[in-house]
Amino acid sequence: MSSLLASQLVTNVFWTSVIAGGLLAGVPLMFTALGEAISERAGVLNIGLEGMMLFGAYAGFLGAYYGHTVWLGFLAGIGAGAATSLFMVVLCVWLGLDQIVVGIAITLAGGGITSVLQGAEFGNTYPRLGAVSTAPIPLLRRLPVLGRSLFEQPPMVYLGLAIVAVVAWVFRSTNVGLNLRAAGEKPEALDQAGVSVKATRSWAALTTGAFAGLGGAYLSVVSAGIFTPFITQGQGYIAIVIAMLSRGRAGLVLIFSFAFGVALSLADSLQIAGINLSADVVNMIPYVSIIAALIIFARSSYLPPALALPYVRGAR
């Protein structure tokens, strides 16, 4: 009887850690993938997401470290991400340069510059931030497994969910959403309707940078509480995959991000349950599941026809 109770307790703790871990690792993915979904809709393929996340992560860490509040960190991350995406806006949207080449440059620069700045600022030490305060939701927090995992989160998580809803609404039922889609599907039509393709894409790319910066900042400030060089470890690329798999739908971005967050944090959860799987095996899970998903859903993955193509008025 008591052993049954104990195992019940372990499974409860296990599921709590799975869900909480999924959220902790999934929220940065969610913000970043949401950003990518916006710019992909508008026809800008942002391969530099990884670099923008790194800039956001470092700026966010600095903001939270010196500003002593997570909100300054988030703001700094948003600013850094948006500033980085200005390169993308000027070089790719305005000048029509190759989006993939510029994206690779931004990723390389993000890794190099943040690592150099971190070294210049802190030397070989990696200071930690304190734990982030949570905003438990009354009543709901008393639920058995979900209470501790879902409803005792930092306020930014709830705000993030609200942002997903807003983006979904903008996509579905506003003129801005329509313009964004036209910029990716048929930019000529948008141009003929009297809306500037360049402006639409510029705003989309800027928003993407801001979201990627926010995702990076959440990663360093909340999820990790520390900034180490190359902290993103390919999460920017996972975000691109999430955006492509969800075909630009904000709700799907949320679901896929949580799923990949769970996969990323599964090693820790399994350890809590007493299962010791090698971290290398567990690390493979998200990527293997992506490849499996791509093989299964390959026919239905859809990209806007004008993706990664610069728009030149009058050109055919």
Give the binding site for another protein (CB under 8 A): 47, 87, 91, 95-98, 100-102, 104-106, 108-109, 111-113, 115-116, 118-120, 229, 234, 237, 240-241, 244, 278, 280-281, 283-284, 287-288, 290-291, 294-295, 298-299, 301, 303, 314-316
Give me the least distance between CB of 117 and another protein, in Å please.
9
Please enumerate in sequence order all residues whose Cβ is within 8 A of that of 284, keeping only pairs 6 or more positions apart, or say none: none
90-101 in b/e form (b: 16+ CB < 10 A) is: ebbbeeeeebee
**How many angstroms separate the CA atoms of 204 and 40, rounded?**
9
Return left, alpha or beta for 180; rule: phi > 0 is left, psi -120 to 50 is alpha, else beta: alpha
H or E element, residue 74: helix 70-88
Least spacing, CB of residue 250 vs another protein, in Å? 20
- Give the Cα separation of 245 and 252 in Å (integer): 8
Between residues 98 and 176, which has the closer beta carbon with respect to another protein?
98
CB of 252 to another protein, least distance (A): 16
| Residue count (the chain) | 316
In the complex with another protein, which residue's Cβ is closer, 108 or 189?
108
Distance of closest approach, residue 98 Cβ to another protein, in angstroms: 5
Minimum separation from the CB atom of position 82 to another protein (A): 18
CB of 213 to another protein, least distance (A): 18
Q: Can you tell me which residue has the tokens 């959220």?
A: 23
CB within 8 A of 236, min separation 6: which ones? 32, 48, 49, 50, 51, 52, 53, 54, 107, 212
Side chain identity at residue 131, one-letter code = A
Numbers of helices and strands, H then E, in the chain: 12, 2
For another protein, give the closer residue by CB, 105 or 164. Answer: 105
Q: How far is the CB of 106 from another protein (least distance, A)?
A: 8
- Nearest residue to 253 (alpha-carbon basis) of 237, 266, 265, 242: 242
Q: Burial, 315: exposed, middle or buried (Cβ in 10 Å; 0-12, 13-18, 19+)? A: exposed
Choose between 2 and 278: whose C-beta lies nearer to another protein: 278
CB of 160 to another protein, least distance (A): 24
Which is nearest to 54 in space by CA: 207, 243, 202, 220?
220
**What are 308's two structure tokens?**
């990664």
